[in-house]
């Protein structure tokens, strides 16, 4: 069941496959999903303060008696909790809700201009105090990364960004790589719409795999980390069964051509402009 790990620039490693828990709300649904995910081999679990389900995720880990040392837990600072003191306080509460002593990865959920450096300084302090092992960002474009680098002591080791065949973001991926930042794809399945794409259906038939598996495999072969979400145990398992086949160069080229700059979420460049 062991999944591959990616090397982070700070010396730690991170599972390439993770399980996103956005919109998993009640305890029973959470428990079923987490049990299925752990059974399928997922070890990274991605939540956020804004998802309002850190407590349910923490309770699921406890009730299922999953060993903490086997888990890689990510949360993200909500927009309302940005700023130096707010970030420190909010992380204390996140740890309580998750019932853990330390986070494996803490991300700033979105770049917000007025609290930009204060929030990052708090993350640097939390890392120095070993309250979090690794620190990173989410929804940062090159402009945001460059701006952060002007004052940061530590560079982010992960940038979690929207990524799927309709929004492949190759230039940003290349920039992350150049900065030794691991790219982690959110909405790796484009929240469903991409699953009907005729080109992907053709490739899926060729490999006798589902379209979701083809898309996730495409991410892996580009070196990205992925955090697909489902609450259906059969799909949770399907989305983890992606380490036993390979896409060929023709498949990779065909999928690359599907890019159409189509987002499921906000455009960070538009919402958070660096002057
Ligand atoms: P996703 O691309 O993972 O799509 C999830 C949806 O696709 C499911 O709800 C289900 O309807 C469908 N699906 C999943 N597996 C399938 C399968 N095998 N076959 C058919 N349909 C399938 O989208 P997401 O939930 O938006 O993103 C995944 C995770 O990324 C979230 O849970 C969250 O952890 C993270 N995320 C982060 C941000 C951010 O700003 N950092 C934003 C959105 C999501």
Task: Indicate whether residue 183 lines ligand 1 (CB < 6 A).
Answer: no
Query: For residue 77, what are the contacts with CB-CB under 8 A and spacing of at least 6?
Result: 49, 87, 90, 91, 106, 107, 108, 109, 119, 123
Q: What percent of the chain has pLDDT over 90?
A: 95
What ipTM, to 2 d.p.? 0.98
Task: Indicate whether residue 54 lines ligand 1 (CB < 6 A).
Answer: no
Angle, CA of 167, 168 and 170, to the nearest 5°: 135
Average pLDDT over residues 40-46: 98
Angle, CA of 129, 130 and 136, to the nearest 5°: 105
CATH superfamily of 5-263: NADP-dependent oxidoreductase domain (3.20.20.100)
Q: What is the pLDDT of residue 260?
A: 96
Task: Report how far Cα 21 is from the mean position of its chain's Cα atoms.
Answer: 10
Q: Which residue ranges make up each domain of the chain?
A: 5-263
Q: What is the model's pTM?
A: 0.97
In a 3-state reduction of DSSP, which class is residue 156? coil
Residue 51 has pLDDT above 70, yes or no: yes
DSSP structural state of residue 164: B
Q: What is the pLDDT of residue 3?
A: 82
Q: What is the pLDDT of residue 271?
A: 73
Query: For residue 273, what are the contacts with CB-CB under 8 A and spacing of at least 6?
Result: 113, 143
Average pLDDT over residues 70-82: 97
Q: What percent of the chain has pLDDT over 70?
A: 99
Q: What is the pLDDT of residue 211?
A: 98
Cα–ligand 1 centroid distance for 93 (angstroms): 25
Q: What is the pLDDT of residue 1?
A: 54
Q: What is the pLDDT of residue 2?
A: 65
Q: What is the pLDDT of residues 163-221, one digit of tens each?
A: 999 999 999 999 999 999 999 999 999 997 899 999 999 999 999 999 999 999 999 99
Task: Indicate whether residue 57 lines ligand 1 (CB < 6 A).
Answer: no
Residue 137 has pLDDT above 60, yes or no: yes
Q: What is the pLDDT of residues 218-244, one digit of tens each?
A: 999 999 999 999 999 999 999 999 999
Residue whose CA is at the smallest distance from ligand 1 atom 25 = 229
């Amino acid at each position: 069941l062991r999944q591959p790990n990616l090397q982070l620039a700070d010396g730690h490693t991170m599972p390439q496959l993770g399980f996103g828990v956005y919109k998993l709300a009640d305890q029973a649904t959470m428990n079923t999903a987490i049990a299925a995910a752990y059974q399928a081999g997922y070890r990274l679990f991605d939540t956020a303060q804004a998802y309002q389900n850190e407590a349910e995720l923490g309770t699921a880990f406890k009730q299922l008696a999953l060993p903490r040392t086997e888990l890689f837990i990510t949360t993200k600072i909500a927009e309302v909790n940005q700023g130096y003191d707010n970030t420190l306080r909010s992380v204390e509460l996140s740890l309580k809700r998750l019932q853990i002593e330390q986070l494996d990865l803490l991300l700033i959920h979105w770049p917000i201009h007025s609290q930009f450096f204060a929030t990052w300084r708090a993350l640097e302090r939390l890392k120095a105090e070993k309250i979090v092992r690794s620190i990173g960002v989410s929804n940062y474009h090159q402009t945001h990364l460059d701006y952060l680098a002007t004052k940061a002591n530590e560079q982010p080791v992960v940038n979690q960004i929207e990524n799927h065949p309709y929004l492949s973001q190759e230039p940003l991926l290349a920039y992350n790589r150049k900065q030794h930042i691991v790219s982690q794809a959110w909405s790796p399945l484009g929240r469903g719409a991409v699953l009907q794409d005729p080109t992907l259906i053709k490739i899926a038939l060729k490999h006798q795999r589902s379209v979701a598996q083809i898309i996730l495999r495409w991410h892996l072969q580009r070196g990205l980390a992925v955090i697909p979400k489902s609450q259906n145990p059969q799909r949770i398992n399907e989305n983890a069964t992606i380490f036993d086949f390979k896409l060929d160069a023709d498949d990779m080229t065909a999928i690359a051509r599907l890019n159409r700059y189509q987002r499921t979420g906000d455009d960070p460049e538009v919402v958070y402009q660096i002057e």
